[in-house]
Amino acid sequence: MDETASNDGDAIPVFLEQAEQSCRRCRKHYEMQAECCPSCGASNPENPSPHSSADTRANPNDQALLTVCLCYGVMLGAHALWGMVLSAGLTMTPEQLVRSTVLIDSIFCVATLIAWWKTRAIGRMDPLPSQSHSYEAREGLHAGDPPVISEEFSASGTWKSVLAAWLLALPLLALALAGNYAYHYVLTHFVGLPVDDDYLSQFGSLTATILIVCVEPALMEEFFFRGVAWKVLQPLVGRWGTLLVTSVMFGMAHIGVPLSVPALFGVGLFLGGMRLWSGGLLLPMLLHFLHNLTVVLYQGPS
């Protein structure tokens, strides 16, 4: 504490000075007995924790990140296994294909729910977007609890950006679809590689195709990439880093169609941008569903 404060008529009484101290990082006051600042997690040099920031095993953010990576690995492994089974030359009826796809997607859903459960202690879904980050204590937080980083709620312009996101969603989706189509057109007609994505004949019925190709990815992929992974990554790499990393994860997750990965990276950037702009998951989920539905209906049956 600054010595000059004791000479000032407005200085806090001595017994209060000793009970609290100022965090050297975020400048907020907290109890001297605490091991770290409850707002930003900076260690308390007066009362160092045996599990300091140097001990990464105790850090919940690191554990959450590894949980997300593990879940992602499980998802990749499940899809790779399914692809290997399909390419082994087994002929499946549409019903068998639907059942095996549902099984693989169920593995991904379970892994996502487990990742969500294990990372639920890491903050909360961030509220409406704002101009800057700030370290703020969550209500009811006690000294020693995991730090929470929440976005500052900016009073000016937040509802405007959400409204703008919803109003511009469909035109931007049209642009994203145009980009996707242009990429595949170039791949097919100029490079000469056939891209075969005939969903309707694969799954046999429009209902099954819409549920498997449109509804499930819109719900679970968005929940994982723009929900769980986003929440875990944002405190570590910031908003734009999270947008980039989750878009790469999203694109690379589609290993069944490796030639489409660059286009899907672009779609991931679009959906992540809408997540950032709207501040929630509803808009990206709707856009993802509409995007996939458009692709399925455009392809049509062979």
Partner 1 sequence: MNEHGEASSLSEDSDPTQAMTQSEVLPSDGLGKLAQSARSHQLGSARVTMYVIGFLTIAVNLAFAIFARPMVDSQFATEVKKLQAQGMQLDMQKIEELKAESVLATQISGGGFAALGVVFIILGMLVYRYPVPCTVLALVLYLAGQAMTALADPQMLVNGFIIKIIIIVALAKAIQTATAYRRDQLNLGT
* Residue 139 φ/ψ, nearest 5 degrees: -65, 140
208-247 binders of partner 1 (CB under 8 A): 233, 236-237, 241, 244-245
Which lies closer to partner 1 via its Cβ, residue 66 or residue 170?
A: 66
Burial of 63 (0-12, 13-18, 19+ CB in 10 A): middle
Closest to 212 measured CA to CA, from 112, 104, 71: 104
Indicate whether 79 belongs to the interface with partner 1 (CB under 8 A).
Answer: yes
Per CB under 8 A, the segment of 89-97, 150-158, 175-183, 187-195 that binds partner 1 is 187-195
Which lies closer to partner 1 via its Cβ, residue 165 or residue 253?
A: 253
Indicate whether 182 belongs to the interface with partner 1 (CB under 8 A).
Answer: no
- DSSP, res 227: I
Q: Are strands 20-22 and 150-151 parallel, antiparallel or unpaired?
A: unpaired
14-33 binders of partner 1 (CB under 8 A): 22, 24-27, 29
Which lies closer to partner 1 via its Cβ, residue 26 or residue 295?
A: 26
Bridge partner list, 64: none
Say if residues 134 and 232 touch (Cβ distance below 8 Å): no
Indicate whether 43 belongs to the interface with partner 1 (CB under 8 A).
Answer: yes
Burial of 232 (0-12, 13-18, 19+ CB in 10 A): buried
Residues that bind partner 1 (CB under 8 A): 1-2, 4-5, 8, 10-12, 22, 24-27, 29, 41-43, 45, 48, 53-54, 56, 59, 61-62, 65-66, 69, 72-73, 76-77, 79-80, 83-84, 87, 191-194, 233, 236-237, 241, 244-245, 248-249, 252-253, 255-256, 258-259
